[in-house]
Structure 1
């Protein structure tokens, strides 16, 4: 299927590592020019060079901090100066797995605020900066990376993903008349650099091994495997394309069936 992304311009936050990096490479393979952004310019420049080498696409590395409004606006201004427009925004900059995963008496309110500021308000900042350019282009796609902790009660940081879903629905109402869609995806257990850090943390808490933690996730997942980051990226690319113009305000789980809730 031709996703009709050739010539489009995308911005991927958290694009230097993990899912964000794979999303950036997938969009580049589909013909888009891509801006990747995060706080660490060295990581971004390395990723940009490697993606360009693999795909032949133009990939720009621009540092920014999504917890800082001025920084986000500078990044988007630089992206527009470089490519002339921004039509696709993939919001993924956040602390992997969240900063507050422990019990109430141990939870740090300041870390929880940092989680919300980076992921929820950060997504808002990026959408706010990109939306005027999407309106001008007459085309826009915003894909927010959420998380399964928003569909469960085992981590306080999950509230950031609930808030992302609410933000998504509100923005889809406001931006839909301008031809801009807004959706959230909730990845499950995905093979990235960060997932092994989660296995180690959980192993220490449970008094077991990282391999046992991973196997536990696999045993609870109906497809009996960890997902590949490319599977997440393929969904993002579809939602970013003209082919998905009728989908907006939705939250889509891509978790191999790990979530047992029923969501209408």
Structure 2
């Protein structure tokens, strides 16, 4: 299927590594010009070079932009830089966050400061980016916003999971507000995905449970119906579809991309 994405422009936060980089690769392969946004220039430049090598000469342009999504002025400047350099802005992928969240302990040891930082970066950070891109998308009567949530928003495992519940609410509310102007807003909840960050989480869980990191991984695999860890490009494929004109009928949805690990029934 031709996703009809060539010539579109995307703004991907958290784009210097992990899922953000994988999403940028898939979009660029479809001919999208991609601004990858993160806080550190060195990592951004490395990611931009790596993406260009993977995508090749026929893919979209890659524009690295340094910005902190906890700063509204910096977000607005990054959006304006994207529009002035690449000509327009059609797609926002919100992915900047602490992987797994900062508050994963029992309530007695939980940090209020850590929780506030989680919410400021992921919830309010996503809000800032949506606020900055909305006027551009409204003017052109077209836009796609894809928020990266997390499965902890569909369960009660970690306190930091509340940020993913808030993102689902933000997604649904904005889908109502922006839909009349041709803008769709969706959130995806990735499962266990093969990234450097997941191995950090394996190590933390291994120490907590008194087992090896390999055993932690195998325990996840055993309870996942497809019996494997997801690959980053699988998330990229879904995002590319949701970012395309072909997905115009899908908005306000929370989609689990998790290999079936979520056992809840969502009507």
TM-score, shorter chain, exceeding 0.5: yes
Cα distance in 2, alignment partners of residues 155 and 201 from structure 1 = 14
Is this contact kept in 2: 1:66–1:125, CA < 8 A? yes
- Give 3-state SS (helix, strand or coil) of 2:108's partner: helix
Cα distance in 2, alignment partners of residues 150 and 75 from structure 1 = 29
Report the Cα offset of residue 85 of structure 1: 1.1
- Give 3-state SS (helix, strand or coil) of 1:106's partner: coil
Match of 2:178 in 1: 175
Match of 1:46 in 2: 46
Match of 2:81 in 1: 78
- Give 3-state SS (helix, strand or coil) of 1:85's partner: coil
Is this contact kept in 2: 1:35–1:60, CA < 8 A? yes
For 1:6-85, list aligned pairs within 5 A.
6-55=6-55, 56=57, 57-85=60-88
* Structure 1 unaligned blocks of 5 or more: none
Cα distance in 1, alignment partners of residues 12 and 154 from structure 2 = 24
Q: RMSD of the alignment, in Å? A: 0.6
Cα distance in 2, alignment partners of residues 53 and 260 from structure 1 = 39
Report the Cα offset of residue 51 of structure 1: 1.2
Is this contact kept in 2: 1:36–1:59, CA < 8 A? yes
Cα distance in 1, alignment partners of residues 138 and 8 from structure 2 = 14
For 1:150-161, list aligned pairs within 5 A.
150-161=153-164
Pick which of 210-219 and 128-137 moved more.
128-137
Match of 1:137 in 2: 140
Structure 1 outlier segments of 4+, above 2 Å: none
Match of 2:244 in 1: 241
Is this contact kept in 2: 1:85–1:137, CA < 8 A? no
Cα deviation 1:159-204 (Å, max 9, x = unaligned):
0000000000000000000000000000000000100000000000
Match of 1:4 in 2: 4
Cα deviation 1:91-147 (Å, max 9, x = unaligned):
000000000011000000010000000000000000110111111222100000000
Cα distance in 2, alignment partners of residues 136 and 58 from structure 1 = 23
Pick which of 141-150 and 66-75 moved more.
66-75
Report the Cα offset of residue 251 of structure 1: 0.2
* Structure 2 unaligned blocks of 5 or more: none
Report the Cα offset of residue 41 of structure 1: 1.0
Cα deviation 1:33-86 (Å, max 9, x = unaligned):
000001011111111122123223210000111111111111111111101111
- Give 3-state SS (helix, strand or coil) of 1:162's partner: helix
Cα distance in 1, alignment partners of residues 151 and 53 from structure 2 = 33
Q: Normalising to structure 2: TM-score of the pair?
A: 0.98
Cα distance in 2, alignment partners of residues 41 and 2 from structure 1 = 33
Cα distance in 2, alignment partners of residues 151 and 101 from structure 1 = 15
- Give 3-state SS (helix, strand or coil) of 1:104's partner: coil
Cα distance in 2, alignment partners of residues 198 and 156 from structure 1 = 15
